Structure 1
Amino acid sequence: MIRTFSRLLRLALVAAATLIGIAPLNIAHAADVATPQKKILYVTRLDLPANASERNKELQQKGMASDTRVRTHLEAMGYAVTFADQSAPPANAEKYDLVILSSVVQSRELTDTAYKDVRVPMLTWENDLFDSLRLTGRKKGEVYGEVEKEHYIRIVNAPHPLAAGLPAGKTYVYPRDTSMGWGTPARSAIVIATLPGDLDKAVIFGYEKGATMDYDFVAPARRVAFFLDNLTFDQLTPIGLRLFDAAVVWALAPAPAKN
């Protein structure tokens, strides 16, 4: 009886597809095609040394609480997310579809990190690693950094998928002023949004696979830089969250084939 019901349901789907002009073959077999779940390696700071100060412990706990909420959001999007400590070998990333480097990591312990070489897409909001990842040059305060008080950004590349369908112009991504990371990337970067008063300071930008990043480094896979700070994910407005989701989706999408 279950088999009969399944067959009737399939026939109904085919009929409905025919009425609205969708190829019935695709609908008929939709139930038989399993879409593999994308896997994300989320690199953060899970472990602290035994002699860590109380302040460092507090910062790590708050950071992990925020990262856990990001993970919950990503899982709600349908991704399988695995936390990894910053001390884990970057080569482990090759088993995943996307690497996320949280700003909770200790950037000084990841200077010139081998994560820049991984051949899977990467998303990060740790602006202190922009130089090590070749997203920008090395002069902090000149080509990367953060502003302490801002809640607006300016969309400058509305047609691109990273802009999440938003129109060009000024929009707010936080309800009130908070810290926001920025970078001045290489010319081959895809700049999506900048600080509203400084078009040289990009707050959302990416590199296509094969693009020449800073220091003539060739991107092994897609790279995306985002403006978040350690604890600001929860403060994103619906527009800010929409841009975050677009960053994840674009990073994971297949890069276009070169002619």
Structure 2
Amino acid sequence: MHLPKRQLSRQHTSSLRRLALTAAFVALGLPMLAPVSSSAATSEAVPSTAAQPIARPAVWYVTRLAHADRAEDDKVRAHLESLGLTVTMVDQSAPVADARGAQLVVISSVVSARDMVGTAYRDIGVPLLTWESDLFDSLRFTGQRKGVDFGELDKEHYVNVVNAPSPLAGGVAAGKRWVYPRDGEMGWGRPAPAATVVATIPGEPEHAVLFGYEKGATMDYDFIAPARRVALFLGNRSFEHLSPDGQALFDAAVRWALADARQP
């Protein structure tokens, strides 16, 4: 039986769209709904609840809700939602115990590190991503000497990718890469030997700007990571200025951390 060329074209286009959608969901590690046949879709015997919503990984996003820079966090939240994640944005004063049902905890640099010294997020058995360098010591990412074990540059827009094969690199090539179009804030830390270091400040190999710890890895202070931990270089208002390479590093950090949450 020969189908008309117009019908063949529509089928080909539909097949390409299904392949593209499948690839996007696989990249995020999210389940795909089973396809519904055209006859089932039009049958009165099929209940309207036949297609159940896809479970979206839950993100617990910690910031200061009343801070002026919270507007930047709203842009990060919108991006995370575009990746297929459900985001709950909370103030830094919210009970840490409420985050235990999440699959990823994000701590923005908009929080007040002074008010979160000794934070219980250190011990939570949920993957955690932060770009607040002043919390690196409290969270056991690094030692406690500011300016030696962790710190922040006011003016930098390059990073040096030193571990391009790592999933944390997001496919960004090795070498010096610009992540901002012009100089901006960039946090850094000197992690423990067990960390996976992906990028550093150019010319300063001991100052890591993207690094992570596997669950069970020994962090600083001989602290054992309860789940994956990731440190990123962003400042309060850096996200919206990220270059394509910077965006790829951010997305890779999120996906790498979430992969731990999906493991049994």
The interval holding the TM-score normalised by the smaller chain is: 0.7 to 0.9
Aligned with 1:171 (options 168, 174, 177):
177
Mapped pair 1:65 → 2:42: no
Within the candidate set 206, 216, 220, 1:214 is matched to 220
Structure 2 gaps of 5+ residues are 1-10, 20-30, 37-50
Aligned-pair RMSD on alpha carbons?
2.4
Name which of 108, 116, 141 aligns with 2:114.
108
Q: 1:185 touches 1:202 (CA, 8 Å); kept in 2?
A: yes
Structure 1 runs not aligned, ≥5 long: 1-8, 18-25, 48-59
- Aligned AA for 2:240? D
Residues 65/168 of structure 1: CA separation in 2 closer, same or farther (3 Å cut): same
Do the aligned residues in 1 keep the contact of 2:136 with 2:189 (CA within 8 Å)?
yes
Offset from partner CA, 1:135-161 (integer Å, 9 cap, x none): 000000001001111111000111110
Q: Do the aligned partners of 2:72 and 2:237 also contact (CA within 8 Å) in 1?
A: yes
* C-alpha distance in 1 between matches for 2:169 and 2:55: 26
Q: Which amino acid aligns with 1:217?
A: F
Q: Which runs of 4+ in 1 moved over 3 A?
A: 26-35, 255-258
CA contact (8 A) 2:127 2:260 kept: no
Q: Equivalences for 1:1-259 in 2 at 5 Å? A: 29=34, 35-47=54-66, 60-61=67-68, 63-254=69-260
Tell me the CA shift for residue 91 of structure 1: 1.1
SS of the equivalent of 2:260 reads coil
TM-score by length of 2: 0.80
User: Counterparts of 2:109 and 2:148 in 1: how far apart (Å)?
Assistant: 19
The amino acid across from 1:82 in the alignment is T
Provide the identity percentage. 55
Structure 2: how far apart are the matches of 1:182 and 1:141?
9
Report the Cα offset of residue 166 of structure 1: 1.6
* Equivalent-residue separation in structure 1 for 2:217 and 2:32 (angstroms): 38
* Distance across 1 between alignment mates of 2:166 and 2:59: 23
The structure-2 alpha-carbon separation of the partners of 1:230 and 1:154, relative to structure 1 and needing over 3 Å to count, comes to same
Change in 2 beyond 3 A, CA 1:114/1:194:
same
CA distance in 2, matches of 1:147, 1:98: 27
Tell me the SS of whatever aligns to 1:65.
helix
For the residues of structure 2 that align with 1:235 and 1:33, how far apart are their CA atoms?
A: 37
CA distance in 2, matches of 1:29, 1:197: 51
Q: Residue type matched to 1:71 in 2? A: R
Question: SS of the residue aligned with 2:98?
Answer: helix
Residue 55 of structure 1: aligned partner = none
**What number of residue pairs does the alignment pair up?**
225
After superposition, the Cα gap between the structure-2 partners of 1:96 and 1:28, relative to the gap in structure 1 and judged at 3 Å, is: closer
